[in-house]
Copies of this chain bind each other. A is one copy, B any other.
């Protein structure tokens, strides 16, 4: 079987981790793109831990794609679809299939229908598949839920609650949930849109569509800081009383006059991690991830596993409703 080639677009922690897993699964890295001037010219193999590749990180996406002509691309630059589009379009126009960590791409049809249509049109024209994936969105609050619902005769309500220990996550994640901030810092960061999980509306609409909820929907999103009542030690973080431990974020989706989907995330230093999916229906179900579905490695794995799978889909903007997700065994590299 011919070796499939891929590009990485965005060499942050997620792009590098997912890229390393894709490489271990036998894909051949042929291009690495990042706009960070500190990365330009470096061998991506250094960043991925794969050993020398003979490649150089470049900020110039279009030239890199023209030169390398990858078959697949792993995209991890932004949570926002608007910011991701300038990288996604040049890929799909060239027939390059993309799996992206962009949270808003996971299910943009309801939230950003115009951008979704535009990307879908470009992908169909280019004969490429583009898919948003990850753990959240992409798994715990949507794809896994939809899969579990396949055992239900009737579904009335779906609730997903994630509680995760922010102290064991990488620093950018801790910053996103305000760990260690004063209330003033938190409020300021919040005003600048730097606090909180992106992707709740996408997960909620995906689940609501899967249970056949009416299209006229009302989404109520709420976010609040959780403040340390006493000095708290968690992981390598020490948080003084009165400082922020993390967040509680909630989305309630109502359709046809009643609540259909409720998503809750508590991400704070010292939390006892657990994920729970509760379905009210026939049968009712209560599913738990004891100890939680851990973060970054799982996100990277979701992206790499889906990248190995994406070519089976019809060209266009696809969602996880379309993909029978699975694991792909590494072909090389040691288990770290």
A residues lining the B interface (CB < 8 Å): 21, 135, 139, 143-144, 146-155, 210-212, 282-283, 285-291, 293-294, 297-298, 300-302, 304-306, 320-330, 335-336
Most B C-beta atoms less than 10 A away, residue of A153, A287, A294, A305: A153
Cβ distance A279 to chain B, nearest Cβ, rounded Å = 9
**B150, B322, B324: the one within 8 Å of A301 (CB):** B150
A291 surroundings in chain B (CB, below 8 A):
286
Known: A150-B305, A282-B335, A287-B287. A324 touches B327 (CB 8 A): no
From B289, B323, B326, A210 is in contact (CB under 8 Å) with B326
| B151 pairs with A298, CB closer than 8 A | yes
**Contact assessment for A298 and B152 in the assembled complex, using a CB-CB cutoff below 8 Å:** yes
Contacts of A212 in B (CB 8 A): 327-329
* Chain B residue, CB-CB nearest to A18: B153
B326 and A150 contact, CB distance less than 8 A: yes
Of all chain B residues, the one with the shortest Cβ separation from A139 is: B151
Complexed CA–CA distance, A86 and B326 (Å): 33
A-B contact pairs, 5 of them (CB 8 A): A147-B324, A152-B305, A283-B298, A321-B326, A322-B324
In angstroms, how far is the closest chain B Cβ from the Cβ of A70?
Answer: 22
10 more contacts with CB within 8 A, not counting A139-B150, A287-B290, are A135-B151, A147-B324, A147-B326, A150-B302, A152-B305, A283-B293, A287-B287, A287-B289, A288-B288, A321-B326
| B301, A153: Cβ atoms closer than 8 Å | yes
- How many copies are assembled? 2
Q: How far is the CA of A147 from the CA of B21 in the complex (A)?
A: 18
Query: A211 is contacted by which of B135, B211, B321, B329 (Cβ under 8 Å)?
Result: B329
What residues of chain B lie closer than 8 Å to A336, measured between beta carbons? 282
A143 to chain B, nearest CB (A): 8
From A21, A212, A327, name the one whose CB has the most chain B CB atoms within 10 angstroms.
A327
Task: Tell whether, in the assembled complex, residue A211 and residue B146 are in contact, meaning their CB atoms are under 8 Å apart.
Answer: no
In the assembled complex, how far is the CB of residue A317 from the closest CB belonging to chain B, in whole angstroms? Answer: 16
A283 touches B289 (CB 8 A): no
Distance, CA A147 to CA B146, complexed state (A): 11
Q: Which residue of B lies closest to A301 (CB)?
A: B153
State the CA gap A215–B302 with chains docked (Å): 25
The answer to whether B151 and A293 have CB atoms under 8 Å apart is: yes
Contacts of A282 in B (CB 8 A): 297, 301, 335-336
Q: In the complex, which residue of chain B has the Cβ closest to the Cβ of A279?
A: B327
Q: Which residues from B are CB-within-8-Å of A300?
A: 153
Minimum Cβ distance to chain B for residue A284 (Å): 8
A301→B149 CA distance, assembly (Å):
9
Q: Which residues of B contact A211 (CB under 8 A)?
A: 327, 329
When the two chains form their complex, are residues B288 and A335 in contact, meaning their CB atoms are under 8 A apart?
Answer: no
Query: Chain B: which residue is nearest A151 at the CB level?
Result: B298
